[in-house]
Copies of this chain bind each other. A is one copy, B any other.
């Protein structure tokens, strides 16, 4: 969905034995910008925000540094653009995968889509998950927006499930938020696990999470809860 090209367009064409600098092909702005973002996501994802250098990004994109500045103004804005683009892509993938139906089916589909997307775009996932957390202030907004989006999605699901059970679980908003955080955190951790262990499929990760969490959520939906001793 975002086409991280291994090469980009242009670069150095080694024609017939001598390195020849080819005239960079003129390209429409949108496409150039996409190339830059691709390179930036890859670099930020692998090195981190501070350790990534604009030099490396420009080189990977196959353009000169001033062009990056011309289009994206600053490192900060470039990183913000990365977060925004990748957050949108992730939520689009998850939302696009769920269809009307029973709640557990919806959750299952959403989780599978989530693990599939993060597995297919590990650098993008690293940008969203690890890197964007380490840097202070300026990016919090973007990342919080993503998290809020996911939490809202899960919250809606839970509410629907409750209605479906013809019960008023009367779970306070605050508890729902806590549960959503727990679910998202578990999913994030499993995404990292699945990326690190090469033979764990998205399906398996999703099943693990359903097994882990669905029973508890179901109980809560029906008013049963675990009570602390004494």
Taking Cβ atoms with an 8 Å cutoff, the residues of A that contact B are 1-2, 46-51, 74-76, 104-105, 108, 130-131, 133-136, 138, 175, 177-179, 181-190, 192-193, 200, 203-205, 207-220, 224-226, 228-229
Contact = CB atoms under 8 A, between A and B. Distances in A.
Given A175-B208, A211-B226, A1 B51 contact: no
A204 to B, nearest CB: 8
Contacts of A200: 178
A135 B51 contact: yes
- How many chain copies? 4
A136 to B, nearest CB: 7
Nearest to A48: B134
Interface secondary structure of A, over-half rule: helix
Contact of A188 (B134, B185, B190): B185
27 contacts: A1-B76, A51-B134, A51-B135, A51-B136, A104-B229, A108-B229, A130-B130, A177-B193, A178-B205, A181-B189, A181-B190, A181-B192, A182-B189, A182-B190, A182-B209, A182-B212, A183-B212, A188-B189, A203-B228, A207-B228, A211-B225, A212-B216, A214-B216, A215-B215, A215-B218, A215-B224, A215-B226
A211 B207 contact: no
A213 B134 CA distance: 28
